[in-house]
Structure 1
């Protein structure tokens, strides 16, 4: 993408393009509704995520969070604006049963490496290394049918790491998980970003209690990012919105 524009995020110096893992500028995207009408979901969304950080994207249902994530992953085509994301990137789905499909944890992590034609020793090394990073190093031979939802999510993340993904796009990973698994997945992602140089994560969520794990956050409303900054700033902004909504009742 050819542009000389710079970004400034709270607490940081001006960011050049090379400092960003995700660079979204005025992106628009429309989808076909059940009635076959075209409905505009993204209405000029703009977002910048620095390399090597965990960012969270929040907002009400239907605001465009998951749509933006899928556009970044290349699962949906945007109709306008500019979008750049570091490669390779991986999308981890909300429901781990849609992604973890091989009989054992180790086999699932190794599955995506098949197309790379790597030596067997290198595949084994990557599988074990990636499972260790997400806290699943002792589960290589474990049947995926015996894993909890959170453990399956961590296996999916390990698979992305084994493929050397530079960006993890994470779509509401804790929706179907109990509290213990929620914390386990959050800690695993935080560990990945801190241990793997240059790996960036963008985590879509509606849970305010997950914000303390983030390095930065953004809030979407009606197809646009209306606020971004540190987690405390976003939490205060959401608190003001909630108070305004209560006052109108």
Structure 2
């Protein structure tokens, strides 16, 4: 029997009565797997992610996820709030009331997981875009998050850094048993995930093997 770390069943959401954004939308991500969510602008991807993070409440349907849940914004400057790398990751642990030694251990463990331990004392402003995204991911690892949600995390990165980040998340999923849902519109990123969902018109219209989904979308766009 498959256990799902993310389980969304028949959720609906609309900003206005006659303008539904999501219509009986369902998806489920198995524990310890890396799945991607694709869709064009206006398909409902960002709204769905906001529902998953409790920034919005669905009008109907259910959402179940294995806590704790970490969220990585498209623009990491929206979530890195402290002056240095180590301080920012430690700040995310404040609510857990951990002893100082445990905080220190978790910060260093998380930075090691994203291969940035040497940047612990680096000012946030001195980081590249790719490094900032990896620090945001490290914050979720420090909190021992079971589920990681990523909202187009490569959108603001150069092509080389895009590839590095998606491989890093793939490795983290496999090595740490994290479950990840990565929102994207880049078909090349499908090469790194276990499965994918295609969102159109507020509903999942296709799901499963990422290469089959990629071929379907490429066929749509070819002349």
TM-score scaled by length of structure 2: 0.96
Question: More relative contact order in 1 or in 2 (CA 8 Å, sep 6+)?
Answer: 2
Counterpart of 1:201 in structure 2 is 180
CA distance in 2, matches of 1:190, 1:110: 24
Counterpart of 1:169 in structure 2 is 149
Cα deviation, residue 240, structure 1: 2.9
Counterpart of 2:124 in structure 1 is 144
Match of 2:44 among 64, 69, 79: 64
CA distance in 1, matches of 2:18, 2:52: 20
User: How does 1:209-228 map onto structure 2 within 5 Å?
Assistant: 209-228=188-207
Cα deviation, residue 181, structure 1: 1.9
Cα deviation, residue 38, structure 1: 5.7
CA distance in 1, matches of 2:93, 2:129: 23
Structure 1 residue 47 and structure 2 residue 27: aligned? yes
Structure 1 residue 237 and structure 2 residue 221: aligned? no
Give yes or no for contact 1:91–1:170 (8 Å, CA) kept in 2.
yes
User: How does 1:84-95 map onto structure 2 within 5 Å?
Assistant: 84-95=64-75
Counterpart of 1:6 in structure 2 is none
Q: Could you say if the C-alpha distance between residues 136 and 46 of structure 1 is closer, same or farther in structure 2, counting changes exceeding 3 Å?
A: same
Q: Which structure 2 segments of 5+ residues have no match?
A: none
Cα deviation, residue 182, structure 1: 1.1
CA distance in 2, matches of 1:179, 1:100: 23
Q: Which structure 1 segments of 5+ residues have no match?
A: 1-13
TM-score scaled by length of structure 1: 0.86
Counterpart of 1:8 in structure 2 is none
Counterpart of 1:28 in structure 2 is 12
CA distance in 1, matches of 2:91, 2:15: 32
Q: Which moved more, 1:231-240 or 1:95-104?
A: 231-240
Give yes or no for contact 1:186–1:213 (8 Å, CA) kept in 2.
yes
Cα deviation, residue 184, structure 1: 2.4
